[in-house]
């Protein structure tokens, strides 16, 4: 397991959060970080990973922090509406996103700026917890690809598994006993070089998005020791299987 010391200034939000959250994660999970050497030690980059639980942003942050970097997330704007939580999230440098609105353009610009400033931006290309019945990655959104093509930054794919055992999708009751295994496998940068010199057409962005999702899925296949379905779950076609249960 590669472990590095944080070189960036923590800031007040991380100074408060790390002594609280990290011991809690250490007490409730058994971690396996694979391929951590693929996470850049410096410079701006994107981590793109599959989304399996409301708790996995914490386990992903643990991975990033253990490798000497501070994570910045594109987070639902509603989380910022709470005065206390919103102040904390802004203090931690998180980026609010209002989906399917013009304000989403501002979030994209903020993410581009963060990468250009040498920061680590964590993105879930699926934009929500997977609805696939077997929890494989769904069809991805284009945000990570567009940021990568705009900035020429590395996109580091991560396949993760185990957080869904702590908190199952769309449930509120966590299960922390016994301790659960959390595995995160970090792959090499997604090959996008040939696309960066081409006009940024929808077809090029779509191709970049597919490559990112393929890379995430491959890492998850290695973690699970299984083969993913040939066709990814697409909510636009198959619907949201959790909507009626909400």
How confident is the model at residue 79, as a pLDDT? Answer: 81
How confident is the model at residue 245, as a pLDDT? Answer: 47
How confident is the model at residue 96, as a pLDDT? Answer: 83
Rounded to whole angstroms, the Cα distance separating 137 from 228 reads 9
Handedness of CA 235, 54, 143, 76 (dihedral sign): positive
pLDDT at 237 over 70: yes
Residue 115, by phi and psi: left (phi above 0), alpha (psi -120 to 50) or beta? alpha
Angle 195-47-155 from CA coordinates, rounded to 5°: 20
* φ, ψ of residue 38 in degrees (nearest 5): -80, -10
Q: Classify residue 29 by burial, with Cβ atoms within 10 Å: 0-12, 13-18, 19+.
A: buried
Mean pLDDT of the 109-136 span? 95
Which residue, among 106, 107, 122, 116, has the nearest Cα to 46 in the 3D structure? 122
Angle 199-204-210 from CA coordinates, rounded to 5°: 160
How confident is the model at residue 246, as a pLDDT? Answer: 39
**Is 186 inside a domain boundary?**
yes
**Is 235 inside a domain boundary?**
yes
**Is 211 inside a domain boundary?**
yes
With a pLDDT cut of 90, the percent of the chain lying above it is 77
pLDDT at 227 over 60: yes
Rounded to whole angstroms, the Cα distance separating 115 from 111 reads 6
Rounded to whole angstroms, the Cα distance separating 10 from 22 reads 14
**Is 176 inside a domain boundary?**
yes
Mean pLDDT of the 220-238 span? 96
Rounded to whole angstroms, the Cα distance separating 190 from 215 reads 7
Q: If you average pLDDT over every residue of the chain, what do you get? A: 92
Read off the pLDDT of residues 99-120 as tens digits, 9 standing for 90 and up. 655 556 778 899 999 999 999 9
Handedness of CA 168, 132, 100, 124 (dihedral sign): positive
End-to-end alpha-carbon separation of the chain, Å? Answer: 39
Contact 52, 169 (CB under 8 A): yes
Q: How many domains does the chain have?
A: 1
Rounded to whole angstroms, the Cα distance separating 187 from 35 reads 6
Which residue, among 198, 210, 233, has the nearest Cα to 155 in the 3D structure? 210
Q: Write down the pTM of the prediction.
A: 0.91
Mean pLDDT of the 15-19 span? 94
**Is 19 inside a domain boundary?**
no
**Is 170 inside a domain boundary?**
yes
Read off the pLDDT of residues 33-85 as tens digits, 9 standing for 90 and up. 999 999 999 999 999 999 999 999 999 999 999 999 999 998 778 888 888 88
**For residue 159, what are the domain limits?**
28-70+121-245
Greater pLDDT, 9 or 55: 55
């Amino acid at each position: 397991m590669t472990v590095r010391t944080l070189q960036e200034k923590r800031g007040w939000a991380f100074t408060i959060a790390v002594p609280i959250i990290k011991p809690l994660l250490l007490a409730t999970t058994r971690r396996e970080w694979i391929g951590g050497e693929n996470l850049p030690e410096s410079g701006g980059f994107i981590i793109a990973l599959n989304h399996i639980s409301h708790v996995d942003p914490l386990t992903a942050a643990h991975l990033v922090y253990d490798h000497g970097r501070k994570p910045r997330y594109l987070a639902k704007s509603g989380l910022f509406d709470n005065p206390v939580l919103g102040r904390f999230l802004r203090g931690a440098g998180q980026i609010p996103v209002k989906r399917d609105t013009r304000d989403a353009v501002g979030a994209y610009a903020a993410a581009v700026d963060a990468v250009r400033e040498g920061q680590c931006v964590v993105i879930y290309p699926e934009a929500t917890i997977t609805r696939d019945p077997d929890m494989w990655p769904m069809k991805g959104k284009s945000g990570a690809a567009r940021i990568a093509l705009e900035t020429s930054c590395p996109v580091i794919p991560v396949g993760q598994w185990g957080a869904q055992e702590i908190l199952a999708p769309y449930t509120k009751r966590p299960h922390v006993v016994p301790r659960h295994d959390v595995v995160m496998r970090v792959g090499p940068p997604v090959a996008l070089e040939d696309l960066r010199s081409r006009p940024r057409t929808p077809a090029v962005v779509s191709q970049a998005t597919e490559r990112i999702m393929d890379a995430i899925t491959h890492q998850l296949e290695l973690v699970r020791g299984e083969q993913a379905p040939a066709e990814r779950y697409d909510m636009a076609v198959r619907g949201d299987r959790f909507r009626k249960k909400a």
